[in-house]
Amino acid sequence: VQLVESGGGLVQAGESLTLSCAVSGLSFDEYDIGWFRRVPGKEREGVSCINTGTGSSVYGDSVKGRFTISIDKDKNTVYLQMSSLKPEDTAVYYCTADPDCRYYTGSYYYFIDYWGHGTQVTVSS
């Protein structure tokens, strides 16, 4: 299984950024895809997850209304559109895969099956 993130970078507060996750080696019939993030000194936080079967999604409270997750099954890619970015969104963002999206509304990172290597997002004030 490979989850390869791209699109991270440095932006100013209020700007937007889109992360991509190229997925290979697993079936969307068996796994949902999501994002966690990690701020140094804090536990990994669930950001969002998309049910690859129904297209429904969940979001962490801190990003609701600002982030949007989507999937392009033809390209085997999941996207995380981030808008109205804040300095507190600064983190390493990890693409993840798990059979269930239920673990993405908190810090239940220890249940997640697969992880990418992460991409850094830095939001300056």
List, for residues 17-46, the tens digit of each pLDDT value: 999 999 999 999 999 999 999 998 899 999
Tokens of 19: 């992360």
d(CA 51, CA 30): 10
Q: What is the per-residue pLDDT across 107-120, written as a single tens digit (0 to 9) for each?
A: 888 999 999 999 99
For all residues of the chain together, what is the average pLDDT?
A: 96
What was the pLDDT predicted at 99? Answer: 93
Residues 49, 68: contact at Cβ < 8 Å?
Answer: no
Task: Sort 117 into a burial class: Cβ within 10 Å, 0-12 / 13-18 / 19+.
Answer: exposed
- Asked whether 10 and 124 are in contact (CB, 8 A), the reply is yes
CA 72 to chain centre: 15
Residue 40 confidence (pLDDT): 85
